[in-house]
């Protein structure tokens, strides 16, 4: 299939084979890898910038062999920065990352692992000079546990390293490596030569090995590492590299070199994290290594636009006409806002004077941007949904004269006026009457003015002024606030048959992509977002179609099976799902662990890429859903968002 164009920071990158499965055991595609890099790029850049990058590439996925690559290959774009290093008999030209576009191009080349030295070009001022001139402002010790040593024991040694560094006045930062061990970084107050950093690291390693000879070794010989944690101090040598923070690992699962907190390292259950965990943590906490390296000033700030990157693929997967264009990914950070999210917190004791109460709508969260008559839509996870809801083009007519970014929820109202997610998700093949409505509840930008730093009360006042304009579109509504306090608002929502209530602190600012306790959600029933990992054949009237779907939840170690759902479908739903799942069929279970034989023996397994919404009563003692009922596919989300 010919490549598609991806625009990142004003650079045009040809991306290919986006449906290729890069991690066969996890079902992670090249698309998922590139999406991860796009979202994490701004945070990763300070930790790789101004450093020559050695790549470890898996062109055919981690099920086949990789190769290390130092020199840039033919066809490298002219805009990618280069740095030449003189070796004993040759010169090697390395890439140097300065922007998100550089990192995305490397991901397109299937460079899952990025390895960098600790020294920086901008500190050394050396062009292509030799190792003796390299200077660094950070140190790393790589903790490599022996084959019978747990990550928790490794973490205990890392904490001992932290204490030694603290005594020396050096702040330190732990990173679980995405492999077996941990990297501990430290920041020097001023740049030093690499040999000096190496000497400091060696002194720490050898002193700890002497103090704990049965648990720690600083000796490189593998025979000395049995039942011990090896402290590799040599990676501070100018000629050596370390897997960069936030880099993926080329293992059976898409683990990441993930920054952690010291409190986490004290937890006996500490485990490696995959890219989905890292993205979720990043949305919550930002960069835990922000104090390790200086920030990078972007060379451009153009938006990321994946364009119609998989139009031909998604046109086969969509269930029925009209078939919407495949999703476009718009990232968080400075290149594509993601909506602020509410925390699961009690609202009963909240009062009207400090909090405002809104209905919680049962639909797709949508950011709608209007500029010069054009309307674009993006979901909570950054998927472009403009083509999914052409009805919202009507906003372009009523909002002329206003360049605005709105936050709201796209819902389907049934014949009684209640929101119904099942109708929304399956609207293309349902005969029931329903009405689409865009429920607007916030305004984030207006005519070039960013309103996110203003308190909620001021933003609501602006929205109230815009309400007559917005609601001139038949598709849009601005719902009124609910009377408080929190308990009364929740009762009102129950009486109306709504999904729940969102309480917003009146003084709260809008925090793109973050889940904040300044917004709190109360739900009136149990819903859960799941990933489809397989199906069982139907019988009787369902013969030749799907009998039930096998569903799971992503965890640190893979997809955990939580049961099967066989109710809540219409025949049209089942037919559409069957067609959508056929291209995803694989030969082995995507779930970790084993399933009951009666289930597994008749199951058809699929790549875990479809996210769905299920309603259920409660959990069984075995960790399965009790009485689950199907609600619909979440077209606005990807598995990595759960």
Active-site residues, by number, are 360
Measured in whole angstroms, how far is the alpha carbon of residue 200 from the centre of its chain?
36
SS3 396: helix
**Among 309, 236, 287, 417, CA closest to 30:** 309
Structural contact between residues 33 and 565, judged by C-beta atoms closer than 8 angstroms: no
| 32 exposure class (CB count in 10 Å sphere: 0-12, 13-18, 19+) | buried
**Among 310, 284, 297, 313, CA closest to 517:** 284
Q: How far apart are the first and last CA of the chain?
A: 30
Q: Both tokens of residue 418?
A: 């209640």
SS3 39: helix
CA–CA distance, 532 with 559 (Å, rounded to integer): 10
Q: Both tokens of residue 142?
A: 């790589």
DSSP strand pairing (242-243 vs 585-586): unpaired
Structural contact between residues 524 and 587, judged by C-beta atoms closer than 8 angstroms: no
Residue 532 neighbours by CB distance under 10 Å = 25
Task: Name the one residue in this structure whose structure tokens are 């472009």.
Answer: 384
CA–CA distance, 214 with 2 (Å, rounded to integer): 57
Cα separation values, 223 from 208, 230, 233, 347, Å: 19, 11, 18, 59
Structural contact between residues 501 and 484, judged by C-beta atoms closer than 8 angstroms: no
Helical (H) or strand (E) element with 559: strand 558-565
Structural contact between residues 278 and 289, judged by C-beta atoms closer than 8 angstroms: no
Helix (H) and strand (E) counts in the chain: 14, 37
Structural contact between residues 407 and 444, judged by C-beta atoms closer than 8 angstroms: yes
Structural contact between residues 565 and 630, judged by C-beta atoms closer than 8 angstroms: yes
Structural contact between residues 274 and 73, judged by C-beta atoms closer than 8 angstroms: no
CA–CA distance, 368 with 394 (Å, rounded to integer): 12
Task: Name the one residue in this structure whose structure tokens are 């981690």.
Answer: 62
> What is the DSSP track for 249-287?
--SSS-EE-EE--HHHHT-TT---EEHHHHHHHHHHH--
> What is the DSSP track for 279-296?
HHHHHHH--TTTTTS---
**Among 134, 127, 160, CA closest to 236:** 134
CA–CA distance, 3 with 27 (Å, rounded to integer): 21
Phi, psi for residue 374 in degrees, rounded to 5: -95, 140
* Beta-carbon-side half-sphere exposure of residue 275 (alpha carbons within 13 Å): 30
**Among 296, 371, 408, CA closest to 636:** 408
CA–CA distance, 194 with 123 (Å, rounded to integer): 11
Q: Cis (ω within 30 of 0) for the bond into 329?
A: no
Q: How many residues does the chain have?
A: 642
């Amino acid at each position: 299939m010919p490549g598609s164009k991806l625009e990142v920071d004003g650079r045009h990158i040809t991306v290919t084979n986006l449906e290729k499965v890069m991690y066969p055991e996890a079902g992670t595609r090249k698309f998922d890898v590139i999406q991860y890099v796009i979202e994490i790029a701004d945070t990763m850049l300070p930790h790789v910038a101004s450093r020559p990058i050695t790549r470890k590439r898996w062109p055919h996925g981690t099920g086949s062999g990789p190769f290390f690559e130092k020199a840039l290959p033919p066809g490298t774009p002219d805009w990618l920065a280069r740095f030449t290093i003189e070796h004993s008999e040759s010169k090697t030209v390395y890439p140097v990352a300065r922007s998100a576009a550089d990192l995305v191009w490397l991901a397109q080349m299937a460079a899952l692992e990025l390895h960098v030295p600790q020294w920086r070009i901008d500190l050394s001022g050396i062009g292509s000079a030799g190792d003796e001139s390299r200077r660094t402002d950070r140190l790393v010790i790589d903790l490599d546990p022996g084959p019978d040593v747990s990550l928790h024991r490794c973490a205990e040694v890392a904490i001992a390293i932290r204490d030694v560094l603290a005594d020396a006045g050096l702040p330190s930062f732990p990173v679980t490596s995405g492999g077996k061990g941990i990297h501990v970084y430290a920041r020097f107050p001023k740049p030093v030569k690499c040999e000096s950093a190496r000497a400091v690291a060696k002194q720490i390693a050898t002193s700890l090995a002497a103090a704990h000879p049965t648990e720690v070794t600083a000796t490189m010989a593998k025979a000395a590492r049995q039942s011990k944690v090896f402290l590799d101090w040599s990676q501070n040598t100018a000629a050596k590299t370390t897997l960069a923070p936030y880099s993926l690992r080329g293992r059976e699962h898409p683990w990441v070199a993930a920054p952690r907190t010291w409190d986490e390292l004290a937890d006996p259950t500490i485990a490696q994290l995959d890219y989905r965990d890292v993205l979720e943590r990043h949305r919550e906490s930002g960069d835990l290594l922000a104090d390790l390296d200086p920030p990078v000033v972007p060379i451009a700030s153009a938006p990321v636009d994946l364009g119609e990157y998989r139009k031909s693929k998604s046109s086969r997967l969509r269930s029925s006409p009209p078939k919407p264009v495949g999703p476009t990914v718009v990232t968080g950070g400075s290149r594509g806002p993601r909506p602020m999210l509410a925390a699961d917190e009690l609202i009963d004791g909240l009062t009207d004077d400090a909090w405002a109460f809104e209905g919680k709508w049962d639909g797709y969260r949508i950011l709608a941007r209007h500029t010069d008559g054009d309307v674009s839509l993006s979901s909570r996870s950054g998927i472009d949904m403009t083509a999914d809801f052409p009805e919202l083009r009507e906003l372009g007519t009523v909002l002329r004269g206003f360049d605005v970014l709105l936050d709201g929820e796209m819902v389907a109202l049934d014949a009684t006026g209640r929101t119904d997610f099942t109708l929304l998700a399956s609207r293309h093949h349902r005969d029931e009457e329903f009405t689409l409505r865009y429920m607007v509840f916030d305004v984030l930008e207006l005519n070039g003015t960013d309103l996110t730093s203003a308190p909620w009360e001021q933003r609501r006042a602006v929205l109230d002024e815009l309400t007559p304009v917005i609601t001139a579109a038949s598709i849009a509504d601005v719902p009124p606030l609910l009377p408080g306090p929190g308990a009364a608002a929740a009762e009102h929502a129950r009486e109306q048959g709504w999904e729940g209530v969102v309480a917003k602190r009146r003084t709260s600012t809008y925090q793109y992509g973050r889940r904040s306790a300044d917004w709190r959600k109360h739900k009136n029933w149990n819903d859960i977002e799941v990933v489809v990992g397989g199906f069982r054949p139907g019988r009787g009237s369902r013969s030749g179609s799907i009998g039930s779907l096998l569903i799971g939840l992503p965890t640190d170690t893979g997809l955990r099976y939580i049961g099967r759902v066989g109710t809540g479908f219409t025949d049209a739903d089942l037919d559409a799902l069957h067609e959508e799942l056929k291209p995803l069929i694989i030969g082995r279970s995507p779930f970790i662990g084993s399933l009951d034989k009666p289930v597994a023996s008749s199951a058809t397994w699929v790549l875990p890429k479809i996210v769905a919404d299920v309603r259920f009563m409660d959990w069984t003692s075995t960790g399965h859903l009790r009485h689950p009922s199907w609600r619909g596919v979440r077209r606005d989300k990807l598995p990595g968002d759960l």
